[in-house]
Each structure stands twice: as structure tokens, then as C-alpha cells.
Amino acid sequence: MQMGEGVEWGLHCCVTLGWLKDEGPVSIRRLAAWFDLPQEYLKKRLQALTRAGILTSAPGAGGGFSLARPPGQITIMDVVTALEGPGEAFRCAEIRQRGAGAEGETFRGPCGISRAMRRAELAWRRELAGQSIADLMEGSPGAGERTRRNYARMRG
Amino acid sequence: MQMGEGVEWGLHCCVTLGWLKDEGPVSIRRLAAWFDLPQEYLKKRLQALTRAGILTSAPGAGGGFSLARPPGQITIMDVVTALEGPGEAFRCAEIRQRGAGAEGETFRGPCGISRAMRRAELAWRRELAGQSIADLMEGSPGAGERTRRNYARMRG
């Protein structure tokens, strides 16, 4: 079970856009160069974040991406859901209802395996929903200043 | 992000083998018929559980799979790890160290994104490690008796 690499990309872009919030939209070209990422693949991820209402996208020259809401109102869970989809990692196919083992039984309610997996996934979601982009920004003291300095240099 | 279907198969097989512990090894043919699963695919999953020390496999006619240890000593986490591998779902590629954004910085310690993802994954693992095959068996009262009855009918 593995999360797509886009989650790391999306989270770092959100944190960086949080630090650059006074600089106006940041172009996809600059964001790709910032992390040395393939521009077209990154663009698809950022478009998914835009569809989810996490980023806004301004078109044209001088356009680019910005956070759509304050970084304290964007959780890691929001970003993961936007990029990985809302589905649960464990999907129960109800195999207990199939085959010779199921004879003579009517199944009511979800099975214990499905419940246990869901409980674990809720614990995971709770942790990710309890951390915002603002928390990530606060957890990297000094990085905001460096980001603005390097961005000013990049803009030349 | 999605877990393989083998996790549901493996967990249901472990629970069923827990209920059938006095019946001797259960053949792969019967386990596949029990849940109406493709025998060769199921076999690969059960072989992975055997390599992980969760099942034992007896060869030949009358052979098959059994639990390698008491069901209270096999956690859901054990089964998930055996089937999905020990790797974390989020794998940090350290993109923060790349590109124009990293200039002028030496990175010490893991980044906050990686730490947050790990904390969430630990919460998930803790839940799964806190539930054993015995807990799943206890959570389905009556299913043990039905399982033994249907298995006796299957053996004819």
C-alpha cells in the first residue's frame, strides 16, 4: 500500500505558497523549479488541489497558484483526500458472503474485519485532520524567511 | 491509496483457520471454495502468510494450511504487514532538498510533513496491532459453529 508521490509535492507546495502569500500567484514553472519536479505532472496535482478548493489558479502572464484559504484552514487530510481520493484504503468485498462458507447464514451489519480496518483508518484520518498547513509552517522556523529570500532571487 | 484485496482474503482465512483448528490442515482447494476465490491467487497470499510465520503449510494429500500460533498471538497488523510489506504508505523523497527552494539551507532532521505522516501512520498501526485474530473470532458469535458445520458438510 503506497501513497502517490503527489502527496509530498502537494503538501510542500501548500506550505511554500503559505510563506509566499504576499507575493501574488506563483507560476507552475517556478513551483516546478523550486522543487526540481516535472512541471506537467506537478500541474495535474495542483489542478486537483484547485478543484478541491485548496488552491486558486489565476490564468495568464503573472498568473499561477495561491492558497484558496488561510493555511490554518487547510488540513493535511484535505490535501491527501484531494490527491488520493476519498476512498478508504481497505475496501471490503464481502467475501464472507460467498462460497461454501456462507451457506446457512444471513449476514447483518458489517463484518468485524471491516470494522477493525475502518477504526484504524479513522485513527489515521484523525491525525491528518488535526494538522494544518499553518502547523507545518510553524514547525519549520526560519524556512519562511529563506523561502521569501530565495523566491526574490528567483524572480530576479 | 488502496490496500490489495489479499488483505481481506488473508484475514478471513486466518479467522476461519482459527475456528477449524481442531480439523487439521485445510487444503487450498477448500479454502478457495470456502470464499469462492481464485485458488492460485489465494495460494500466493497464504504462502506469504506462511513465510511470515503466521500460517504453517503441510504438503501432500491431507495437507494444507493451519495457523502457526494461537489466534490471540496474531494481530491484524501482522497479516497486513505480511501481505502489503513493511513499508510506510507515505514515502518521503526529500524534495525539500532539491531545486531553487533549497538554496542556502542544510536540512537537519526529518521534515515536518514526513513527521506528520509518520505520526498518522503510527496511529493506524497501533489500532491494527491492538486487534488479534482471536478478537475477530470473538466478535462473530455463532460464526465458529456455522463454520465447523459447513466444513463438515464440505468434507462430506
Going by C-alpha positions, the residue among A107, A121, A98, A106 that lies closest to residue B9 is A98
Query: Nearest Cβ partner of B89 from A3, A30, A131?
Result: A3
Residue A64, C-beta contacts closer than 8 angstroms, at least 6 positions apart: A24, A25, A26, A27, A28, A30, A31, A57, A58
B/e letters for B64-100, b = 16+ CB within 10 Å, e = fewer, are bbbbbeebeebbbbbbbbbbbeeebbbebeebbeebb
- CB distance from A108 to chain B under 8 Å? no
- CB distance from A141 to chain B under 8 Å? no
- CB distance from B105 to chain A under 8 Å? yes
> Bridge-partner residues for A26, per DSSP?
A65
| Count of residues making up chain B | 156
pTM, rounded to two decimals: 0.87
Contact between A46 and A28 (Cβ < 8 Å): yes
CA separation for the pair B131, A117 (Å, rounded): 10
Structure confidence by residue, pLDDT tens digits, B54-101: 999 999 888 999 999 999 999 999 999 999 988 888 888 788 888 777
User: In this complex, do B124 and A128 lie within 8 Å of one another by their Cβ atoms?
Assistant: no
- CB distance from A107 to chain B under 8 Å? no
Chain A 71-90, residues with CB within 8 Å of chain B CB atoms: 76, 84-85, 87, 89-90
Residues in chain A closer than 8 A to B131 (CB atoms):
116
Domain ranges of chain B: 5-86+132-155
**A57 φ/ψ angles, rounded to the nearest 5 degrees:** -125, 125
* Side-chain-facing half-sphere of A87: CA atoms under 13 Å: 10
Structure confidence by residue, pLDDT tens digits, A25-83: 999 999 999 999 999 999 999 999 999 999 999 998 889 999 999 999 999 999 999 99
CATH assignment, B5-86+132-155: 1.10.10.10
